[in-house]
Chains A and B, each alone.
Chain A
Amino acid sequence: MTERMLRAAGVHVQIAGRATSLLADVDLAVRPGTFHALVGPNGAGKSTLLGVLAGDIGPSAGAVTLDGTPLDRLGSRALARRRAVLLQQNSVSFAFRAREVVAMGRAPWQGSAAASEDDDVIAEALAATDVTHLADRVVTSLSGGERARVGLARVLAQRADVLLLDEPTAALDLRHQEDVLRIARDRARAGDAVVVVLHDLNAALAYADTVTLLAAGRVVATGSAADVLTPERVSEVYGQPVDRLTDAAGMPVLVPRRR
């Protein structure tokens, strides 16, 4: 029996006609019940890796498997029932209401027994992301942060056990950032495999079980947040000296050294 996990093995991604690859020799294993953060400087390949894990980008070499099955062998609907993806870009072309957008997350379950729970699942997802009061608003009229939360509600409504979130906190204010990270951690506690691309290293330190630090398309280090995000390594990879301090609650925080 194969172990249950989302796994990338020896993944290379190269764009035709370009010498440097976007990802080189990337190995990654995301087990159920883990909050796995992908961090790294701009252009390190975080979003590309997320795209590969989602099955959007076929690797030029290597493979991505879910519980031992290559992603491209799973049917599109079977895959949609297993993994949900939140992209940074959450615009909607037509004036759908927020509730309708969240309901679209139920599409993979259409015609299955799970479809009978649609209303409850949708209501729960709206409540979890604090957008119940926006349910009847037209998404195109919402602010960026509100749209991002509606997007997250849609992802939650999909009820997949692998969640891939690309910078879900980017457009959000402080409180909603923490809300989103808490939701992601709760999903991991409930047994989902959660992969989150994060820019905020302190959020990774506070929430992630596992951190993978990428730079220039390669994995620099993988392990527990405290082991990976040492001030020395972060300083070197980002080219910016940082110090690790301890906050009032005793949690480690990284602070850039400013002159």
Chain B
Amino acid sequence: MSGETVLPAPARAGRGRFATTVVVLAVALLVTLVISLGAGQYPLSPLQVVEALWHALSGHAAPSPAAGVVTSVRLPRIVLGVLVGAALAVSGVAMQAIFGNPLADAGVVGVSSGAALGAAASLTFGLSVLGTWTTPALAFVGGLAAVLAVYAISRSGGRTEVVTLLLTGIAINAIGGAGLALLTFLGTSSTREQIVFWQLGSLNGALWSSIALVAPLVIAGVVATIVVARRLDLLALGERTARHLGVRVEALRLFVIVVVAVLVCAAVSFAGIIGFVGLVVPHLMRMLIGPGHLRLTVASALGGALLLAIADLIARTAVPLADLPIGMLTALVGGPFFLWLLVRTRRQAGGWG
């Protein structure tokens, strides 16, 4: 390649790249799902998986016990993983937009632990005022309180310095952790087990009934983010300039905070704290397709779903007869990635700006 290459019309090139990214992610997701559905204690070939799905869809009885396992055990778990991955990745996109900082993530800034605290409270105290919605509702309240706290404390002039964001996250995580510890102490042995499971993050025990709760929340959150995507782009210019361009910044901020709380509570209520998805996925997608929030939201939803589908496959199959906590796996990848990102951000900003 010569140094001087003539670039094609950039808008069109960008669109092509976006389309390719979306198609590749979608195909990879489908392939992962089929492999994952077939993998486990009762292994099935991809063909048998498709056959089992077909039978289930057309309302027939499962053709074999293994096929029954696919639809009643593996499928809900995998679907939950896909939903949770999309929710976490999109919550990262939304939070990074309003914080004006690419290091904002539900786990890092403590929104997940706030939500987990709410969810754990519903369990420990045996609350059921809202029926099956009690746990997600309390998770929403905890998550909302955490985002509001971080938001109120860490921002100045529409941007958040890395240091302030991380320190606030440490404090919020500490408070959430203390609350969870208290609930662990107060709880019975079964609720204790549940809380420990939350802190590790796991898709184990997913039921179709939990998906019925999670799916509408995730879809609503992703659609809401897509609706405000263009306004989120303008926020990158700073709050005052966004306002000069006709964005009602205060209303947008509040809306996005609620959307983040909805997405995180959907993710945390049944899967616990799965960290770094909201950090890693949007960042990788930005490198691929640029920072425009409409495309970024769509690609990140797919990317987050794919990441958790792969992580779940590894969690179930890496150690025979054991189910690794998926939060441990994402942290294993996300932690080093986060460090790399920190070092890079610090170098670029010439400090902690």
Contacts and interface: CB of A to CB of B under 8 A. Distances in A.
Nearest to A54: B244
A156 to B, nearest CB: 13
B244 A85 contact: yes
Interface in A100-135: 100-101, 104-105, 107-108, 110, 135
B244 A94 contact: no
Contacts of A176: none
Nearest to B293: A94
Contacts of A105: 245
Contacts of A220: none
Contact of B230 (A87, A94, A107, A135): A107
Which 6 pairs of residues, A with B, have the shortest CB-CB distance? A80-B246, A94-B291, A77-B246, A93-B100, A93-B236, A85-B244
Contacts of A135: 10
B7 A80 contact: no
| A76, A84, A89, most chain B CB atoms within 10 A | A76
B299 to A, nearest CB: 14
Interface in A143-167: 154, 158
A84 B236 contact: no
B163 to A, nearest CB: 16
Contacts of A83: 244
Contacts of A99: 10
Contact of B237 (A54, A79, A101): A101
| B102, B159, B231, B245, most chain A CB atoms within 10 A | B245
A76 B246 contact: yes
A207 to B, nearest CB: 23
B15 interface: no
Given A93-B159, A95-B291, A80 B236 contact: no
Interface string A42-65: 000000000000101000000000
Judged by DSSP, the binding face of A is mixed
Contacts of A85: 240-241, 244
Given A81-B246, A84-B244, A85-B241, A136 B234 contact: no
A92 interface: yes
B233 A96 contact: yes
Contact of B292 (A76, A91, A100, A154): A100
A56 B10 contact: no
Contact of B286 (A81, A94, A136): A94
A136 B292 CA distance: 14
Given A76-B246, A107-B245, A87 B292 contact: no
A97 interface: yes
B17 interface: no
Interface residues of A, number: 33
B290 interface: yes
Interface of B: 7, 10, 100-102, 159, 230-231, 233-238, 240-241, 243-248, 286, 290-292, 348
Given A97-B10, A107-B230, A92 B246 contact: no
Given A80-B245, A107-B245, A95 B101 contact: no
A79 B246 contact: yes
A107 B233 CA distance: 10
Nearest to B291: A94
A65 to B, nearest CB: 18
24 contacts: A56-B240, A56-B244, A77-B246, A83-B244, A85-B240, A85-B241, A85-B244, A87-B240, A91-B238, A92-B236, A93-B235, A94-B102, A95-B286, A95-B291, A96-B236, A96-B290, A97-B10, A104-B237, A104-B245, A107-B247, A110-B230, A136-B7, A140-B348, A154-B237
B243 A76 contact: yes
Contacts of A89: 238
B290 A97 contact: yes
A105 B236 CA distance: 13
A238 B348 CA distance: 39
A83 B246 CA distance: 10
Nearest to A100: B292
Contacts of A95: 286, 290-291
| B102, B233, B248, most chain A CB atoms within 10 A | B233
A76 B233 CA distance: 17
Contact of B234 (A79, A84, A90, A107): A107
A72 B100 CA distance: 27
Contacts of B290: 95-97, 100
B244 A104 contact: no
Contacts of B234: 104, 107
A239 to B, nearest CB: 31
Contact of B291 (A54, A81, A96, A108): A96
Given A89-B238, A96-B233, A99-B10, A76 B248 contact: yes
Contact of B246 (A56, A93, A96, A108): A108
A54 B348 CA distance: 32
Nearest to A135: B10
A104 B291 CA distance: 13
B254 to A, nearest CB: 15
Given A96-B292, A97-B290, A56 B245 contact: no
A21 B204 CA distance: 62
B245 A158 contact: yes
